[in-house]
Structure 1
Amino acid sequence: MVKGIRKPADRTRADSAPSTAESGPPHRGRDIVRAVEALAAAFRHRVRAGELGSFPVVLVLLAVWIVFQTLNENFLSPRNLSNLGVDIVGTGLIAVGIVFVLLIGEIDLSVGSISGLAAAVFAVLNVNHGVPEWLAVMVGVLVGTAAGTVQGASFAKTRVPAFVVTLAGLLAWNGLMLYILGTSGTINIDENGFVAKLTSHYFSNDAAAYGLAAVGAGLVFLASYWDRRRRRAVGMPHRSLLEIGVRTGVLAVIAFAAAYVLNRFQGLPLALLIFLVLVAGLDVVLRRTHYGRQVYALGGGVEAALRASLRVVRVQTAVLAVSGTMAAIGGLFLASRITSVSQTSGSGVLLLNAIAAAVIGGTSLFGGRGRTWSAVLGILVIESVASGMAITDTPIAVQFMITGGVLFAAVVIDSLSRRSQEAHGRA
């Protein structure tokens, strides 16, 4: 070997040896920058492919809050935001049930009447007949479940469109509610009872709100991390740890900011706590269980579901039963808010707001796409508009026009998103 010539192996070792400058913090900084750039590129790709997610509705919500805060500085006050957190619960729970129905490409027009019927059954049993409150609540909820099950079975077995079946249910359940209430018309529930306290009780200890924020962020991180491990083990696409950390961090900031605002008024509302727990639980049911996967699969088409050997009748019946159950629970919260049940319970714009909340939040009218959290975002937009209109003394007619405009925009975005997904082979 000629002297003075370095062996290739020596050159390789010399080139591969990390220097102090390259292995320190600047190197890690470049990795973070590259990861952030990758996240941004993935987001742009999803937008071009029509997978917008909750991004449009979040922008709408921020715009609504900015506009009304500009018009009245009390809009984002702790008192108003705390009241808003309670106001969204009743209709929001009904909207969560609507999400289940929309996921299979159908619609339920009876949820308003079922909510009024369940509240009427509870009030008559508890107030007029002295039935223990807990038992009256259970009967009221079971009435909603039974009504939804009857409608679901009728729709699934007769193949009559769901909107026709539930339209008949809207009339029938409303008539039954009027019959149960009788000539009294209005029944006032006990203001010191459990149902009344659903929307009037607050956890004044600051630890309650902050604890819920911490637990929520922690559960989101653990669920995302577990999902990453499961997908990585079978070679499926998965999120990076940095993306999971960023998502969890953003959620934690929002959650702790909300907790701080709530604690500046009366603390964490019991109604909001129950709402979030139910929404999170049903989200797990939809995304982590065999039943939930069947619901999404059915949204792709009945014929395809039958060929995949899915129990279509059972799933369709169960979906309408869930919708009826959530409508009944929502009806009890609505009755709790005004501490009474009357012949107008479940009527008015309740049905329209519940459907609009699900659609505005991002649940597709074509089926197969949406989450329970969609209802939360949607009802936040609707109730924020209503609260802003009230605090600025704007006529109710303007509120309807704004809500209708937002709903129309959501439907257009849904349609365009679906077309984009079809063009990219994702629908």
Structure 2
Amino acid sequence: MLSSSGLRRAAAAFVERVRGGDLGSLPVIVGLVLIWTVFQAMNPVFLSSTNLVNLTMQCAAIGTIALGIVLVLLVGEIDLSVGSVSGLAAAVLAVTFVQLQWHPILALLAAVAAGALVGLVYGFLYTRFGLPSFVITLAGLLGFLGLQLWVLGDTGSINLPFDSFIVQFAQQMFLPAWASYVLAVAAAAGYAWARVLRARRRAAANLMSQSYAEIAARSTVLLVFLTASAWYLNLSRGVGVMFLFFLALVVVMNIALTRTRWGRAVYAVGGSVEATRRAGIRVDRIFVSVFVLCSTLAAVGGILAAARLAAANQSSGAADTNLNAIAAAVIGGASLFGGRGTAFSALLGIVVIQSISSGLTLMNLDSSVRYMVTGVVLVLAVIVDSMSRRTRAATGRA
């Protein structure tokens, strides 16, 4: 049972972190609530279960690409070619699976391997020759777009079989209602257990740790949110397996960033490359691993996008794919200055981006309005990040 004194201490600790400039995901969550409130007031269909199911499915592909962008932002770099890499992966998948008649698993592996190879090349050029990531990935944006067109050939478009597992996974696979509730309970329980273990470790080391009251409060809120979300989505088609796959990637990457030596090194490099090098960490390896993961996730996102469309064509990965992925990472809380952000930045950011897109589409507004609104939200996110950095610097926090 939660004691009132424990809750007061948890609330006081939260207020203290906010005053110190550690806003976390608060600005994104507040902004998302405002966006949903406005669009629901303008069109009652916006928060319908059917529309929210569609929104979650739309988040998976670009959200996966944004997850890779979060990684490069954490080390203070950028990748401008994720759209082209995702399009190239989609082309490789379509050609190997449809035209060359490869087994689906081999075709998927080939597409993912193409993305990993791109990241390896970027890492080599960055660490060996010291080229700025902006220049390397800008060249990649153009070069791999051309390679994508060459792989597709004269047809320019290849349809994926609707009865294939790849397309079924992206379009028609949804969890049974009971499974979604079990998963919600398991996720909340796993979160609580992980927090308790972390609190115990910190207490044993005589470090400040999260109180059990705060852990219980957060876990309860998470359980209620996940269960209610599953119930509401089940009023329509339910929880999409492709969206769950994206969530699983976010959770795995969050664990890698917060629970492994590699993850701590990533944050250290983003804070200060020279200090990290002097601490004995192989900085070059960290940069290479981040570029490889970013391009690999871009390839996975391209595969998901092609599967949802049931086709790969010349426009795969084009249009606003790059901009939305980068905007999602920044809006979600990843700092352009490096060293700050989490894997969940990709999730929060892409939900904001897709909410804006869905809301404006329901209002029958032109795509030009969506670009302008997204641009304004992006600028506001950077302003919040910059102001929080100044606050932390003024209060002496890292």
User: TM tier, shorter chain?
Assistant: over 0.9
Aligned to 1:12: none
| Among 261, 267, 283, the residue aligned to 1:290 | 261
Deviations 1:213-263 (A, max 9, x none): 111111100110110011011011100000000111111111011100121
Residue 14 of structure 2 aligns to which amino acid in structure 1?
Answer: F
CA distance in 2, matches of 1:402, 1:76: 19
Aligned to 1:411: 382
Aligned to 1:222: 193
Residue 49 of structure 1 aligns to which amino acid in structure 2?
Answer: G
Aligned to 1:342: 313
CA distance in 1, matches of 2:351, 2:153: 35
Cα distance, 1:204 vs structure 2: 5.0
Aligned to 1:398: 369
| Preserved contact between residue 209 and residue 262 of structure 1 (Cα < 8 Å) | no
CA distance in 1, matches of 2:164, 2:253: 27
Misfit runs of 4+, over 4 Å: none
CA distance in 2, matches of 1:362, 1:397: 25
CA distance in 1, matches of 2:39, 2:318: 28
CA distance in 2, matches of 1:222, 1:149: 37
Q: What SS does the aligned partner of 1:341 have?
A: strand
| Among 359, 362, 367, the residue aligned to 1:388 | 359
Matches within 5 A, 1:60-71: 60-71=31-42
Residue segments in structure 1 that go unaligned for 5+ positions in a row: 1-27
Residue 155 of structure 1 aligns to which amino acid in structure 2?
Answer: Y
Aligned to 1:167: 138
| Among 250, 256, 280, the residue aligned to 1:309 | 280
Aligned to 1:371: 342
Matches within 5 A, 1:39-54: 39-54=10-25
TM-score normalised to the size of structure 1? 0.92
Aligned to 1:33: 4
Matches within 5 A, 1:33-182: 33-182=4-153
Aligned to 1:21: none
CA distance in 2, matches of 1:298, 1:178: 36
Aligned to 2:293: 322
| Among 149, 161, 167, the residue aligned to 1:190 | 161
Residue segments in structure 2 that go unaligned for 5+ positions in a row: none
Cα distance, 1:192 vs structure 2: 1.0
CA distance in 2, matches of 1:171, 1:203: 37
CA distance in 2, matches of 1:117, 1:209: 34
TM-score normalised to the size of structure 2? 0.98
Cα distance, 1:279 vs structure 2: 0.8
CA distance in 1, matches of 2:23, 2:170: 34
Single out whichever of 347-356 and 387-396 deviates more from structure 2: 387-396
CA distance in 1, matches of 2:241, 2:163: 15
Q: What SS does the aligned partner of 1:187 have?
A: strand
Residue 242 of structure 1 aligns to which amino acid in structure 2?
Answer: A
User: What number of residue pairs does the alignment pair up?
Assistant: 398
Aligned to 1:356: 327
Q: Quick check: which has more Rg, 1 or 2?
A: 1
CA distance in 2, matches of 1:421, 1:204: 43
Residue 409 of structure 1 aligns to which amino acid in structure 2?
Answer: L
Work out the percentage of aligned pairs sharing the same amino acid: 45
C-alpha RMSD of the superposition = 1.1
CA distance in 2, matches of 1:169, 1:45: 44
